[in-house]
Amino acid sequence: MTLRSVEMRRVQLSDDRLVVIRPIEPDDVDGLVALYEGLDQDDRYQRFFSMYVPRRPFFERMVDAAQSGGACLAAEVVDASGTRRIVAEADFELLPNGDGELAITVDASWRGWLGPYLLDALVELAAANGVATAHSRRFVGVGNGDGDDRTSRSGGSA
């Protein structure tokens, strides 16, 4: 399945670092492994509803999400020397009823504005691919408040 993509997002930070929101790539597996290795037990429980510690095959499937109708975005920080590090990921899986199930993980040191910003990019990507309703209970570092994290888009607008 070929997914429609959305425009890559870039945020220039005041300390000369750049945050890039972009589609995940096969070369990102090691960066995803590092992101998830940095999660504490509470974060893993919020993400997986268990103490599950994902292994490499989990991330290999994640970067290949389009094969099953889903998609995955990475939030990558690029410093002044060009060093890159994945600090968050957001993905959706297409459910049998056509809804999208969202999941987002943000490194603890990047929580605040990045989670909601990444969620917006993911919802935009899902809507561009015909997903009218997306929902989840698997957000780490987004601050989804009251727990009502159902997001609907129809016709490309929120």
- The band of 6, judged by pLDDT with boundaries at 50, 70 and 90, is low
Whether the pLDDT of residue 157 is over 50: the answer is no
- Where are the domains positioned within the chain? 9-141
> Is residue 86 within 8 Å of 38, Cβ to Cβ?
no
Q: How far is CA 156 from CA 5, 6, 153, in A?
A: 13, 12, 6
pLDDT digits (tens, 9 = 90+) for 17-76: 999 999 998 899 999 999 999 999 888 888 877 777 888 998 888 888 766 777 889 999
Whether the pLDDT of residue 153 is over 50: the answer is no
Phi, psi of 32 (to 5 degrees): -70, -40
- The band of 131, judged by pLDDT with boundaries at 50, 70 and 90, is confident
Contacts of 122 (CB under 8 A, 6+ apart): 71, 73, 90, 91, 92, 102, 104, 134
Three-class DSSP category at 80: coil
- The band of 140, judged by pLDDT with boundaries at 50, 70 and 90, is low
pLDDT digits (tens, 9 = 90+) for 63-83: 887 667 778 899 999 999 999
The tokens for 48 are: 């997986």
pLDDT at residue number 102: 84
Taking the C-alpha atoms of residue 60 and residue 52, their distance in angstroms, rounded to an integer, is 16
Name the average pLDDT for the chain.
79
Task: Reply yes or no on domain 9-141 having CATH 3.40.1080.10.
Answer: no
pLDDT at residue number 138: 54
Q: What percent of the chain has pLDDT over 90?
A: 35
